[in-house]
Copies of this chain bind each other. A is one copy, B any other.
Amino acid sequence: MYVTIPTDGAAAAPIPALINAKPKSPETHVKTGSYLYFEGDDVKWLYLVKSGVLRLTRLLEDGRRQVIAFGYPGDVVGFPAERQHHTDCDVLIDADLQPFSLSCLEGNCSHQETHRQLLQAALREISGMQDHFMMLGRKSAVEKVASFLCVLTDRVGTKVGNYSQVELPMTRTDIADFLGLTTETVCRTLTQMRRDDIIAIDNIQTIIIQRPTVLLDLSLGDEK
């Protein structure tokens, strides 16, 4: 999942046709805290996330970290470069994964349609990352956090009465490392939104969107 240019919520996440592809191997279940792969590992499989949440990270020697993406249902993770993984990937929420062999991405498998769908997933990945560039390079802290909440709500929010609600399975530090901010800035930004009654923080992991249009405006950088 990347922070794409947010919409008014009308556009739901596209469900990849991949989900209908004939799998070549059985579904995998992975537990919170376990690692799927590490940077430098040889790529053997790509994974379509069917449920749960994954976290893709990259580390610098000095300890600085970037969360590259979160893997939500519908996302495909594990695209290789030079046949190797370039991020670590671990599990935030118990997940069901549909593995696809690397050779299938590369076209050396019998099921041609799956190959095509994996390619489409790679192209969606590129496009999503381009949007994310704009967010990392050009948006303010408020815009980043607001955009993040908008995208998450669109993808995995639930309606509760009049309000939308969204779960944050990742820590504040994860969000900060995803958006190019510090933990403190993410905290303060959420607090300010709470004070402005734009959101409510039910428990630490649960955000209620009280004024979605205001949040959307914030994400777009509309003044005040």
Contact = CB atoms under 8 A, between A and B. Distances in A.
Nearest to A87: B130
Given A79-B126, A81-B124, A107-B107, A60 B134 contact: yes
Given A119-B107, A119-B119, A126-B81, A133 B68 contact: yes
Interface in A16-34: none
Interface size grouping (class) on chain A: 35 or more
Contact of A127 (B86, B107, B127, B221): B86
B86 A130 contact: yes
Contacts of A62: 221
A224 interface: no
A180 B126 contact: no
A55 interface: no
Interface string A102-138: 0001110000100110010011111111111110111
Given A107-B116, A129-B129, 14 more contacts: A66-B134, A80-B123, A81-B127, A81-B128, A106-B119, A107-B107, A119-B119, A119-B122, A122-B122, A125-B126, A126-B126, A129-B133, A136-B180, A138-B177
